[in-house]
Amino acid sequence: MPTAVILMNLGTPAEPTPTAVRQFLREFLSDPRVVEIPRPLWMAILHGLVLPLRPRRIAPAYREIWDRSADGEPVEGSPILYYTRRQAELLQEYLSGQRADITVTHAMTYGKPGLEETVAHLRREGFGSFLVFPLYPQYSATTTAAVYDQVARLYRNNRDIPDITLVRDYYRHPLYIRALANSVREHWRKRGAAEKLLLSFHGIPKANIAKGDPYYRQCCDTAEHLAAELELGEDRWQISFQSRFGKAEWLQPYTDKQLIEWGGQGISSVDVICPAFSADCLETLEEISVENRANFLDAGGKDYRYIPALNLRPDHIEVLATIVQEKLPENRQ
């Protein structure tokens, strides 16, 4: 039976307008995996404060990143959707010479194209076996588990249940660590190494870790393996967490505060990489590359460089292809 590989990422508004951003945020922030505040309270906050105010505030940030990559090259529309679609196309090319019975496509957890519609289309095309590949190297209930929920709904809503395999995580896969290290080394060859390398991961509420989420441990594991691969001493690198939302305490140190602290301490140059992101998006192109650049420079820093996500790098496609081959049903142990 032919197998369909579905690369999945978080999602994006359909266009950089307040209306489209509101529609996306409504779906995204209504997921109890994303926000674990008691539902009646959170729904009141979401519909009373967040959705009326936040889309108008962040739509301009989406307009800033629309149609462009981290290095300024043009892309088509939303970067995260563009990169995920191109990753699927390049992965298809990589695997085609080895497996004629595999088709690669993409879907988004929130927004379009969705997993349910993608699987329905593929089943009409004759596919009965699926490998769902969330492009989150580090597992979290706030991201990867949301994909598991969608797969569970597919099982619950279908009498003829397809064969579905999920990739849970790949935070310490040797090829993933090597690809990250290669991207850093190539950046250093072009621009020289900064005084500090900051490894900024997307944050989650600290309370989630106390409830059993393995995300923090996996982020630390990735960071330590990358630092070891780069042969960096402890004084050369730091882990941090970005994109906090709301008033609760999130994983620390916070990226913005760490950069401000370094700038104030006289650290003149910093390289920043975001290992949790398989594709550049709002959180890297705007928050990291623009907002946190200003934080560091305003605090006294001199040179701030963002190292793009792995995106379409050939060694990244090799990582994805290797994991797919390891997880195919006939190769599962």
Binding-site residue positions? 202, 283
Alpha-carbon 223 to chain mean position: 16
CA dist 114 to 35, 110, 232, Å? 20, 7, 41
Region label for 75, one of left (φ > 0), alpha (ψ between -120 and 50) or beta (otherwise): beta
DSSP per-residue codes, 280-297: --HIIIIIIIIIHHHHHH
Residues 312 and 214: their CA atoms lie apart, in Å, by 28
Say if residues 28 and 146 touch (Cβ distance below 8 Å).
no
Q: Which residues are part of a known binding site for Fe(2+)?
A: 202, 283
| Among candidate residues 118, 99, 103, 107, the one with its CA nearest the CA of residue 4 | 103
The partner residues of 240 in beta bridges, in order of sequence, read 200
